[in-house]
Amino acid sequence: MIEWLIALGIGIVISMVIYSVSFAVMVAVAKKRKSEVNITLTNPWMSSAIVSPVVLCLSLLAIFLMSMGMLPLWGFQLPTLEAMVLPSTIGLIAAIVVVVVSQHISPTPKKMNPPSDTRGRITFFIVIVLLASIAEEVHFRGFLQNILDNTLLLAFNFGWFSITGGAIVSAIVFGLIHVAPAKQMGASVPVLVLSATILGLIAGISLTISGSILLPIIIHIEFNLVGFFLGIRSKPESS
């Protein structure tokens, strides 16, 4: 148990460093390109175009160093089709329910919805639906969950699935990291944090079931994709 707590401390510290460096890079780029500041203020989601690639690269580096070459143990392997079908289907259903309910309770602010023009929507899709989903899952499930579960597997069995200690911690941290964006956007902090935590738990369970980081990435994309389509649908109403 002591080893798990040490791994938890290491994981949290490395996560803080990775995100601190990522946001520092974003600020540096924004200052260097003054025109980007207005774009970021008008469309805060554009910050992910800088933050996500840095998080992804640093997380991959951390995983490579921590895994000592044993990447399959850290989710870098292809899952079986059988392991993908049911969890991804459940993930899609959960995405629809969670995102729709969240939007009903606290609608996404206009500036965080996809732009009205085609080019802007394509950029939003690439940056938020794809890039952010990949970067966040590689970090929170690929790195943080695995550093804990590979140190000591604390699992709570619920029949056909298990929730590990790493999945719970990574989901909570993933939820809490959405506090700042929620305040920046003017969205409901409890709603955004709770919905992100639920996403994190489902993604964490899917990693345990499949042994592959690919499935959490797919589920994360499903959540962001539902939000993307709802954002497009609500755009005319909010203008």
Q: What is the mean pLDDT of residues 135-149?
A: 97
Asked if pLDDT for residue 237 goes beyond 50, the answer is no
pLDDT for res 233: 80
User: In sequence order, which ranges of 44-188 are alpha helices (DSSP H)?
Assistant: 48-67, 81-105, 118-124, 133-137, 146-149, 165-176, 179-185
**Alpha-carbon distance 75 to 170, whole Å?**
15
Cα–Cα distance list, 133 to 7, 86, 105, 138, 222 (Å): 24, 20, 23, 9, 9
pLDDT surpasses 80 at 239: no
DSSP state of 79: P
- Considering only residues 198 and 41, tell me which one the structure prediction assigns the higher pLDDT: 198
- Residue 79 φ/ψ, nearest 5 degrees: -80, 160
Taking the whole predicted model, whether its pTM rises above 0.85 is answered as yes
What are the pLDDT digits (tens) for 16-42? 999 999 989 988 887 776 655 455 545
Q: What is the mean pLDDT of residues 181-201?
A: 88
Q: Report pLDDT digits (tens) over 95-125.
A: 999 999 998 898 887 778 888 888 889 999 9
